[in-house]
């Protein structure tokens, strides 16, 4: 399952030219009547939509912003819809329970030489290690292979960083102490157990490049505060034992000892932009041949998610082969069906552009076809819909850890289907601090801490 991750990248742009609203300008290629009005709205949904559009780096990115806008404007069922006709609580409602006695939790030792900042207490019951360590990480840099384990116990530490070290130590993890150095725009990242391929795509977008990393990649925990994107990329390569090399606008992370194949001949001049979503090497090569004079190909391999930006044709062919882990061939094997301009009911899996030539590979049912088109297409993007604060609270199942730092309380939470979240997640979801309902502000909310037990978590700091 692909994880969805949320990151805010602030980009300062300047220059002369079009002085119209950049949000409306970016929407024009999509030809979506009425969407422009959301650019100037003052409600939370419109503000979130505007921020999404302005942060998008290409047309597919702008298109992705429309889905949560549509979802947010759909009628929602009343809040009491889950109550049965006889007034009884829904079947999955949590049963009344008694609080956990925190004195029964075993103590997790803290390093004796830990620096004192703001005293921090942590009470964890079957809490996911990765999310807890990242939640506590009060440091500019953290990168480690995701642990995947869970921890139970209590920590009394002189700082949040010391508490993170204690939890990591109990799980057998070692956290780095020195931030990496490198070039590129500075980024802020905070992800727990994140699919590394998603991180590489994010860094590629920030660096305006293409990153190709063949083979399996481990999930990672990462905290980067104002760290150069190039330094983060180099640190990921080192963590994986890979060699980082750049050719023709493509950055390759290849396994140690592996070599890149030679560039194919006969690719001609010019550059190509290519976007793949669940496409095979054969699909990618068919799209490449449709917009260039390249006659080679490649077959087999895993399905790819890859974006190439203005890359020389020969380098694009090599990048596709390396990403798929298959060899290049000199003839166009794996031919697709005849050209078809009918895109009704089709799903786009590959888009290619070179100069004024455009093409797409589409799937309709079980048939894959090449479609020569006159204008650039946009892939459908999947993005978590915006929800209300009440809807977010309704998804929660239990608190896995309660954290007190000085006089401030927070919690690491878990949804009813055991997906981790936290009090910080609501900030990312709503792009601001939404005012909680009065009953939460004054009394806190009881979340299930473990089977048959609850703990009261103050949420005033949401």
Average pLDDT over residues 430-454: 46
Count of structural domains within the chain: 4
Higher pLDDT, 441 or 249: 249
**Averaged pLDDT of the chain:** 75
Tell me what pLDDT residue 107 has: 94
Average pLDDT over residues 414-422: 79
Longest Cα–Cα distance of the chain, Å, equals 75
Q: Are residues 139 and 157 in the same domain?
A: yes
- Does the pLDDT of residue 19 top 80, yes or no? no
Tell me what pLDDT residue 142 has: 95
Cα–Cα distance list, 376 to 32, 65, 183, 215, 360 (Å)? 16, 18, 33, 30, 9
Range scoring the smallest mean pLDDT among 217-221, 242-246, 421-425: 421-425
Question: Residue 231: which of 180, 176, 191 has the closest Cα?
Answer: 180
- Does the pLDDT of residue 442 top 50, yes or no? no
Question: 204, 222, 255: which is the final residue of a domain?
Answer: 255
In the numeric block, the tokens 């079947």 are attached to 91
- Does the pLDDT of residue 234 top 90, yes or no? yes
Q: Are residues 355 and 423 in the same domain?
A: no
Strands 357-364 and 347-354: antiparallel
Determine the Cα angle at 352 with ends 351 and 358, to 5°: 105
Place 362 in a pLDDT band, splitting at 50, 70 and 90.
confident
Tell me what pLDDT residue 343 has: 55
Place 33 in a pLDDT band, splitting at 50, 70 and 90.
low
User: Is there a domain that residue 3 lies in?
Assistant: yes
Higher pLDDT, 3 or 392: 392
User: Is there a domain that residue 358 lies in?
Assistant: yes
User: Is there a domain that residue 85 lies in?
Assistant: no
Range scoring the smallest mean pLDDT among 13-22, 115-124, 390-399: 13-22
- Does the pLDDT of residue 149 top 60, yes or no? yes
Q: Are residues 302 and 369 in the same domain?
A: yes
Q: Are residues 4 and 47 in the same domain?
A: yes
Long-range pairs, 196-203, Cβ under 8 A, ≥24? 196/220, 196/236, 196/240, 197/305, 198/2, 198/3, 198/5, 199/5, 199/232, 199/236, 200/233, 200/236, 200/253, 201/305, 201/307, 202/5, 202/7, 203/229, 203/232, 203/233
Distance CA 343, CA 371 (A): 8
Instruction: Tell me the per-residue pLDDT of 367-416, one tens digit each, with 9 for 90 and over.
Output: 676 665 554 444 443 334 445 666 666 777 777 888 888 877 777 888 77
Exposure string over 385-405, b if 16+ CB within 10 A, otherwise e: ebbebeebbeebbbbbbbbbb
In contact, 114 and 138? CB cutoff 8 Å: no
User: Is there a domain that residue 462 lies in?
Assistant: no
Tell me what pLDDT residue 344 has: 60
Q: Are residues 227 and 246 in the same domain?
A: yes
Q: Are residues 283 and 320 in the same domain?
A: yes
Range scoring the smallest mean pLDDT among 159-173, 233-247, 286-300, 362-376: 362-376
In contact, 204 and 210? CB cutoff 8 Å: yes
The fraction of the chain above a pLDDT of 90, given in percent, is: 32
Q: Are residues 285 and 226 in the same domain?
A: no
The fraction of the chain above a pLDDT of 70, given in percent, is: 67
Q: Are residues 149 and 205 in the same domain?
A: no
| Polymer length in residues for the chain | 462
Tell me what pLDDT residue 93 has: 42
Q: Are residues 360 and 395 in the same domain?
A: no
Distance CA 247, CA 309 (A): 13
Average pLDDT over residues 431-455: 46
In contact, 140 and 225? CB cutoff 8 Å: yes
Higher pLDDT, 441 or 259: 259
Instruction: Tell me the per-residue pLDDT of 94-111, one tens digit each, with 9 for 90 and over.
Output: 444 445 667 778 999 999
User: Is there a domain that residue 328 lies in?
Assistant: yes
Distance CA 318, CA 375 (A): 26
User: Is there a domain that residue 119 lies in?
Assistant: yes
Q: Are residues 288 and 367 in the same domain?
A: yes
User: Is there a domain that residue 46 lies in?
Assistant: yes
Instruction: Tell me the per-residue pLDDT of 37-87, one tens digit each, with 9 for 90 and over.
Output: 677 665 667 777 777 787 777 777 777 777 666 665 554 443 333 333 334
In contact, 376 and 390? CB cutoff 8 Å: no
Place 30 in a pLDDT band, splitting at 50, 70 and 90.
confident
Give me 408's structure tokens: 């401030």
Q: 3-state SS string over the chain?
A: CCCCCCCCCCCCCCCCCCCCCHHHHHHHHHCCCCHHHHHHCCCHHHHHHHHHHHHCCCHHHHHHHHHHHHHHCCCCCCCCCCCCCCCCCCCCCCCCCEECCHHHCCECCCCCCCCCCCCEEEEEEEEEHHHHHHHHCCCCEEEEECCCCEEEEEEEECCHHHHHHHHHHHCCCCCCCCCCCCCCCEEEEEEEEECHHHHHHHHHHHHCCEEECCCCCCCEEEEEEEEEHHHHHHHHHHHCCEEEEEECCEEEEEECCCCCCCCCCCCCCCEEEEEEEEECHHHHHHHHHHHCCCCCECCCCCCEEEEEEEEEHHHHHHHHHHHHCCCCECCCCCCCECCCCCCCCCEEEEEEEECCEEEEEEEECCEEEEEEECCCCCCCCCCCCCCCHHHHHHCEEEEEEEEEECCEEEEEEEECCCCEEECCHHHHHHCCCCCCCHHHHHHCEEEEEECCEEEEECCCCC
Average pLDDT over residues 244-271: 91
Tell me what pLDDT residue 70 has: 64
User: Is there a domain that residue 231 lies in?
Assistant: yes
Question: 344, 373, 402: which is the final residue of a domain?
Answer: 373
Place 227 in a pLDDT band, splitting at 50, 70 and 90.
very high
Cα–Cα distance list, 234 to 141, 147, 200, 305 (Å)? 14, 21, 11, 21
Question: 255, 283, 303: which is the final residue of a domain?
Answer: 255
Average pLDDT over residues 300-320: 90
Average pLDDT over residues 444-461: 44
Q: Are residues 363 and 409 in the same domain?
A: no
Place 24 in a pLDDT band, splitting at 50, 70 and 90.
confident
Q: Are residues 402 and 336 in the same domain?
A: no
Place 299 in a pLDDT band, splitting at 50, 70 and 90.
confident
| Domain, as residue range, for 43 | 1-75
Higher pLDDT, 17 or 227: 227
């Amino acid at each position: 399952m692909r994880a969805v991750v949320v990151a805010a990248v602030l980009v300062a742009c300047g220059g002369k030219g079009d002085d119209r609203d950049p949000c409306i300008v970016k929407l024009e290629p999509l030809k979506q009547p009425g969407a422009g009005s959301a650019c100037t709205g003052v409600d939370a949904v419109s503000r979130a939509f505007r921020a999404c559009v302005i942060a998008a780096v290409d047309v597919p990115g702008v298109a992705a912003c429309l889905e949560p806008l549509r979802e947010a404007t759909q009628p929602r069922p009343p809040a009491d819809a889950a109550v049965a006709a006889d007034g009884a609580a829904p079947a999955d409602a949590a049963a009344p329970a008694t609080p956990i006695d925190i004195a029964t939790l075993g103590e997790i030792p803290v390093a004796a030489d830990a620096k004192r900042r703001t005293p921090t207490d942590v009470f964890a019951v079957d809490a996911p290690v990765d999310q807890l360590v990242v939640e506590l990480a009060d440091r500019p840099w953290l990168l480690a292979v995701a642990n995947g384990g869970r921890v139970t116990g209590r920590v009394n530490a002189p700082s949040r960083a010391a508490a993170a070290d204690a939890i990591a130590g109990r799980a057998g993890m070692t956290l780095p102490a020195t931030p990496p150095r490198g070039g590129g725009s500075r980024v802020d990242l905070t992800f727990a157990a994140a699919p590394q391929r998603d991180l590489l795509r994010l860094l590629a977008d920030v660096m305006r490049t293409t990153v190709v990393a063949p083979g399996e990649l481990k999930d990672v925990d990462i905290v980067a505060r104002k760290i150069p994107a190039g330094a983060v990329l180099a640190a990921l390569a080192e963590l994986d034992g890979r060699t980082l090399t750049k050719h023709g606008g493509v950055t390759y992370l290849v396994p140690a000892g592996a070599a890149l194949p030679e560039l194919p001949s006969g690719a001609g001049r010019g550059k190509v932009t290519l976007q793949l979503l669940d496409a095979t090497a054969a699909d990618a090569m068919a799209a490449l041949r449709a917009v260039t004079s390249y006659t080679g190909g490649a077959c087999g391999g895993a399905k790819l998610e890859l974006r190439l930006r203005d890359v020389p044709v020969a380098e694009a062919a090599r990048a596709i082969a390396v990403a798929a882990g298959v060899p290049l061939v000199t003839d166009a094997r794996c031919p697709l069906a005849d050209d078809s301009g009918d895109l009704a009911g089709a799903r786009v899996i590959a888009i290619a552009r070179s100069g004024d030539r455009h093409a797409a590979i589409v799937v309709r049912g079980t048939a894959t076809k090449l479609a020569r088109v006159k204008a650039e297409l946009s892939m459908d993007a999947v993005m978590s819909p915006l929800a209300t604060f009440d809807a977010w609270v309704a998804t929660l199942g239990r608190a896995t850890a309660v954290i007190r730092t000085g006089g401030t309380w927070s919690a690491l939470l878990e949804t009813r289907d055991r997906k981790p979240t936290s009090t910080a997640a609501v900030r990312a979801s709503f792009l601001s601090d939404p005012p909680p309902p009065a009953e939460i502000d004054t009394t806190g909310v009881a979340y299930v801490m473990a089977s048959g037990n609850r703990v009261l978590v103050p949420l005033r700091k949401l």
